[in-house]
Amino acid sequence: MGKNRRFHGPADLHLHSVRSDGTEEPRDVIRAAHDAGMRTVALTDHDTTAGWDEAAEAASERALTFLPGMELSAREGWRSVHMLAYLFDPLDAALTSELARIRGDRIGRAERIVANIGRDYDLTWDDVLAQTSAGATVGRPHIADALVARGIAADRAAAFAGVLHPRESYYESHYAPDPRAAVRLIVAAGGVPIIAHPAPAGRDRMLPVPVIEELLDLGLAGFEIEHRENTEAGKARLRALARRHDLIVTGSSDYHGAGKPNVPGENTTSDEMVARIIERGRGSAPVFGAN
């Protein structure tokens, strides 16, 4: 039986742990997805592969299929673009040095945001460190947790709607490659690039189609279409594009533990699409469960 003829079962290919801005350890993320009925999972922490080994082991213990993944930060002008990447080589030199650069810059950026907030509120960098696992990719969610601990915000969502919002004077951005560079890096590392939540609400938030077509020429594999942050109109446009170019389409939860209302399995990816991702990935191997 070819590897693309396996039955993978319900698949959630977008999950976060404390290695970035989720609130649970990688093994607990895998357990939560399994408990929700998933039989195929991917850990996709922001800009890091640090959770792979623990997640793979947890998935293997539960006889789940596991795809190593990541959500790579990119930026096109003012647009933040999140590029999901599956089955790439975690030791690829160009990719690992870019990841180190992004993670490093995220720390300085978070310190600047906290210094800005500290002008008006009682918040220090130590408050943020207290909310951040050692070595984790630091992001605004950790600052949000510190704001909650200080009683300045009720929860992450309130923090993001308030002091962490880019329209506020506290906001700072971090270094991120443009999406063309992101796709090139992932493809060169043997990975499968898929744009995460490509069509969120808000005017012009979706990349212009000519840019998407440039990315397809560079090896972009598809879109995460079933995601709670994509608008219905955006999903329809993405489906049409995907049909026209015969692309991979996925659906996923973007679970962040207690950090977001998203629950594992709220959207899923079909067996056919899981098989296509596995077929295309050549930088690292999936872990196959018993199903």
Query: By the criterion CB under 5 A, which residues form the site for Fe ion?
Result: 21, 82, 196
Which one of residues 8, 140, 197, 227 is an interface residue with ligand AMP (CB under 6 A)?
140
Region label for 122, one of left (φ > 0), alpha (ψ between -120 and 50) or beta (otherwise): beta
Query: Per the structure block, which two tokens stand in for 165?
Result: 């919002």
List residues bridging with 83 in a β-sheet.
72, 195
Q: Which of ligand AMP, Fe ion, Zn ion, none binds 160 (CB below 5-8 Å, type-dependent)?
A: ligand AMP
Which one of residues 12, 45, 54, 71 is an interface residue with Zn ion (CB under 5 A)?
71
Residue type, 224: E
Q: What is the CB neighbour count within 10 angstroms for residue 47?
A: 23
24 binds Zn ion (CB under 5 A): no
224 binds Zn ion (CB under 5 A): no
Residue 117 or 274: which CB sits closer to ligand AMP? 117
- Sites for ligand AMP among residues 62-81 (CB under 6 A): none
Residue 36 or 107: which CB sits closer to ligand AMP? 107
| Interface mask toward ligand AMP for 186-225; x: CB under 6 A | ----------------------------------------
Q: How many CA atoms lie within 13 A of 87 on its CB side?
A: 22
227 binds ligand AMP (CB under 6 A): no
**Rg for the chain (alpha carbons), in Å?**
18
Which one of residues 157, 233, 240, 263 is an interface residue with ligand AMP (CB under 6 A)?
157
Which one of residues 68, 139, 198, 289 is an interface residue with ligand AMP (CB under 6 A)?
139
In the 8-state DSSP scheme, what is residue 105? H
In this structure, are residues 270 and 8 in contact, taking their beta carbons and an 8 Å threshold? no
CA distance 102 to 140: 14
What three-state secondary structure class fits 52?
Answer: helix
Which one of residues 170, 254, 273, 275 is an interface residue with Zn ion (CB under 5 A)?
254
Residue 2 or 77: which CB sits closer to ligand AMP? 77
Q: What is the CB neighbour count within 10 angstroms for residue 215?
A: 22
Q: What is the CB neighbour count within 10 angstroms for residue 91?
A: 11
Which residue is it, tokens 């310190």? 111
DSSP string, 265-276: TSS-B-HHHHHH
Which one of residues 197, 256, 276, 280 is an interface residue with ligand AMP (CB under 6 A)?
256
In this structure, are residues 88 and 100 in contact, taking their beta carbons and an 8 Å threshold? no
Considering the complex, what minimum distance in angstroms separates the CB of residue 32 from ligand AMP?
A: 16
Q: Which of Fe ion, Zn ion, ligand AMP, none binds 140 (CB below 5-8 Å, type-dependent)?
A: ligand AMP
Q: What distance lies between CA 241 and its chain's CA centroid?
A: 22
User: Nearest Cα to 20, choosing from 47, 53, 41?
Assistant: 47
Considering the complex, what minimum distance in angstroms separates the CB of residue 37 from Zn ion?
A: 20
- Sites for ligand AMP among residues 8-27 (CB under 6 A): 21
264 binds ligand AMP (CB under 6 A): no
Which residue is it, tokens 């975690």? 90
Considering the complex, what minimum distance in angstroms separates the CB of residue 256 from Fe ion?
A: 6
Where do contacts with ligand AMP occur on this chain (CB under 6 A)?
21, 46, 139-141, 156-157, 160, 256, 259-260
Where do contacts with Zn ion occur on this chain (CB under 5 A)?
71, 254
